[in-house]
Amino acid sequence: MIAPYRKHKDMDMNKMPEGMDHSKMHHGKDAHQGMSEHDHHAMMIADFKKRFYVVLALTIPIMLLSPMIQHFMGVNWAFAGSSYILFALSSVVFVYGGWPFLTGLVEEVKAKNPGMMFLIGFAITVAYSYSVAIVFGLQGMDFFWELATLILIMLLGHWIEMKSVMGASNELQLLVQFMPADAHMVMPDMVHDVKTDTLKENDIILVKPGEKVAADGFILEGESYLNESMLTGESKPVLKVKGDKVIAGSINGNGSFKVTVSHAAKDSYLSQVVKLVDDAQKSKSQTQLLANTAAKWLTVIALVTGIGTFLYWYLTGQTLAFAMERMVTVIVICCPHALGLAVPLVVAKSTALSAKHGLLIKNRTAFENARKITTIVFDKTGTLTVGKFEVTKVVSLNKTIDENELIRLASALEQKSEHPIATGILQKVKDLKLAIPATENFKAITGKGVEATVEGKKLLVVSPGYLTENKLTLPDGFTANDTETVVFVLIDQKLAGYIALSDEIRAESAEAIETLKQENIKSILLTGDNKKVAASVSKTLGMDSFFAEVLPHQKLEKVKELQAKGEFVAMTGDGVNDAPALAQADIGIAVGSGSDIAAETAGIVLVNSNPKDIVSLILFGKATYRKMIQNIIWATGYNVFALPLAAGVLFNQGIVLSPAAGAVLMTVSTVVVAINASLLKVRG
């Protein structure tokens, strides 16, 4: 259930801003149990719409029977008992139209947290009570028509605003809907349709042309192009072949294929994204806390100013009706509704939009702090480069072993590794149709390579750094061009040869670095690769500097060095071996994590490894923060202008605001905030 009339600090799918839960109006506490939040919210909008039209129909006769309106029009339609009919119609408007606000007032008093609903409920109760007293004998002029128009405008404002909030919520709803309800499960004798949520690990499902993939998994048989744009932001369809990972919710092209399910629906990538978005929308940032504090102060100011205004006018000789009217207008103008929505609406929009573009926000503060970044440290492999190493040459230094034998032995050690270099070597062996031998006593040498026993020989595949450390000399005539990465093969502690691989620079990298320059953000390359490769990549892309031959545990130190110079550092890495550096950085961005979105140390996860996504993230973070500040300024600024007018400071010049005009101003400010939030976009 949606929490009733909660102060709207949390704008998410489970809690609407205060004044937005009307489930208790006349349905009972658990009337909507089992209904989706989305349907519940739609019912609330329909309820407000109905109340608005009923009050609109009653407001017309109320205005026609009102002595003040008749006086304006120069007519006298008063008849015996007309004041009692006016009282009866206004009572219906007060109780039926004002019910959401009155129950809200009670809830806020119970929670000892007066806010929006308390102020509106208080204002309409004062206006109604005073007008009733006039009907039953108190001298003065009632303001039933002001009461009716005030409630009418408040209902309209809430109705429009809830539709805006629902628009922001819909972004997340769209993600949820991307999961198909049914799947074709492959049984030994037939294909059987089952509910997606019943699938479990190792089940096999069939995906037909044009269908959505029902579960995360790996292609067992067949191939096809998949459209993953709604999940990862990658606009082009991606070719998936046997062994490739597929994400639930992606749309299949013309081929059909079978998938081995890797986990149940509740653990799928899409489910994790929805949970992540939901958590991000609940989490607070400094900007949200600022808005909440301002809203609390505005509530206090409204009550103090309202009562002060009433006492001032009444004690300086004005009528009780005039003093009451000023108080009601001040309290309505001061309602902190726009302020309460200023940040939550932007949060709802930005987190859901981000998820659709493959930018997953885990920490709101990290996302909003993107505007402060002065330096970005890029992990080279797979971010600035494609991350697919291809073998460019194999050189044997041992006359008894040819090139094919050298790479065959090396591949034995690499089959246990997921490093891109290992993938490159294994791909070459596969292309040469060589059989990969078995290994014994396998051991990784952190940051330097791997070692194992293969066919009775002690084999090492290591980086140049290992040779230097162990005082082994590089072979005569050894050359590697600036873009090649080289690994050396040692057999029984003797240098047997080397394998050179190269990794292509991504087409988007140069453009991303150029955009960062325009934003005055320095880009630094961080790699375990040799200085020649690092210098070449850094120069080609126009980066500010580079750190080469850096071991995983040294990455943290490099980030600290930059911070010591006063830089606000964002670090990009794969979230596994870069975890300490990601945690140390002011903003940790885990990239290329695909369905492993639980990169714990990173505040932000990018589904694709595209460097343009990192730039998009920073620009979007800045845009989001700007929207929040614009909304906060607007939501508080209009009070600075309207509050003195409501209190009557220009009364002697003939300028005063009626309660209805105050309600219009408050509604307009709320709608402006909602529209401004909805204009937020991710720049590609």
Look at residue 53 in the predicted model and tell me its pLDDT: 95
Q: Are residues 393 and 410 in the same domain?
A: yes
Find out whether 140 and 325 touch, Cβ atoms under 8 Å: no
Distances (CA, A) of 647 to 139, 313, 643, 653: 23, 9, 6, 13
CATH number at residue 548: 3.40.50.1000
Q: Is residue 24 part of a domain?
A: no
Domain identity same for 67 and 157: yes
Does the residue 1 lie in any domain? no
Cα Rg of the chain, angstroms: 33
Same domain, 46 and 163: yes
What number is the average pLDDT over the span 48-64? 92
Identify the residue with better confidence: 163 or 496. 496
Which amino acids are annotated catalytic? 379
Q: Which two tokens stand for residue 367?
A: 């996302």
671, part of any domain: yes
**What does each C-alpha distance from 79 to 68, 71, 83, 84, 217 come to in angstroms?**
15, 15, 8, 10, 78
- Phi and psi angles of residue 5, each rounded to the nearest 5 degrees, phi first: 45, 35
- Are the beta carbons of 576 and 377 closer than 8 angstroms? no
Distances from the Cα of 487 to the Cα of 127, 394, 422, 448, 505, angstroms: 83, 10, 10, 10, 20
Alpha helices in 542-658 (DSSP H): 552-564, 579-584, 611-647
**296 shares a domain with 156:** yes
Same domain, 397 and 427: yes
Q: Does the pTM exceed 0.95?
A: no
Domain boundary among 450, 482, 505: 505
Instruction: State the burial class of residue 74 (Cβ atoms within 10 Å of its Cβ: 0-12, 13-18, 19+).
Output: exposed
Does the residue 54 lie in any domain? Answer: yes
Q: What is the pLDDT of residues 408-461, one digit of tens each?
A: 999 888 887 767 788 889 888 988 888 888 888 888 877 678 888 888 889 999
Q: Name which of 328-332, 618-622, 661-665, 671-675 the model is least confident about.
A: 661-665
Of 64, 69, 71, nearest to 86 by C-alpha is 64
pLDDT value for 80: 74
Number of domains in the chain: 4
In a domain, 26, yes or no: no
pLDDT of residue 218: 92
Residue numbers of the domain that contains 404: 386-505
Q: What is the CATH number of the domain that holds 430?
A: 3.40.1110.10
CB 483 within 8 A of CB 381: no
- Alpha-carbon span 636 to 639, nearest angstrom: 6
Measure the CA–CA gap between 24 and 9, rounded to whole angstroms: 21
How confident is the model at residue 93, as a pLDDT? 95
Q: What is the pLDDT of residue 601?
A: 66
The stretch 516-525 carries a mean pLDDT of 93
Q: Rounded to whole angstroms, how far apart are CA atoms 605 and 608? A: 9
For residue 182, what are its two tokens? Answer: 């049914």
Is the domain of 429 the same as that of 492? yes
Domain endpoint, select from 505, 534, 558: 505
Tell whether 341 and 324 lie within a shared domain.
Answer: yes
Boundary residue ending a domain (449, 474, 505)? 505
Q: What is the pLDDT of residues 106-164, one digit of tens each?
A: 998 898 877 778 878 887 888 888 889 888 877 766 778 878 887 887 788 778 767 76
Residues 485 and 545 in one domain: no
Domain assignment present for 27: no
Say whether both 53 and 171 belong to one domain. yes
Backbone region of residue 554 per phi and psi (left: phi > 0; alpha: psi in -120 to 50; beta: other values): alpha
Whether residue 147 is found in the same domain as residue 282? yes
From residue 147, alpha-carbon distances to 324, 377, 384, 661 in Å are 12, 60, 63, 12
Report pLDDT digits (tens) over 243-252: 888 888 888 8
Co-location of 516 and 371 in the same domain: yes
Q: What 3-state class would DSSP assign to 76?
A: coil
Mean pLDDT, the chain, rounded, equals 80
Determine what percent of the chain is predicted with pLDDT higher than 70. Answer: 83
**pLDDT, mean of residues 270-288:** 69
Q: Tell me if 9 is assigned to some domain.
A: no
Helix residue spans in 136-178 (DSSP H):
144-177
Domain assignment present for residue 341? The answer is yes
Identify the CATH number of the domain in which residue 228 sits: 2.70.150.10
Query: Do 105 and 147 belong to one domain?
Result: yes
> pLDDT for 636-666, tens place per residue?
888 788 888 888 888 888 888 877 777 778 7
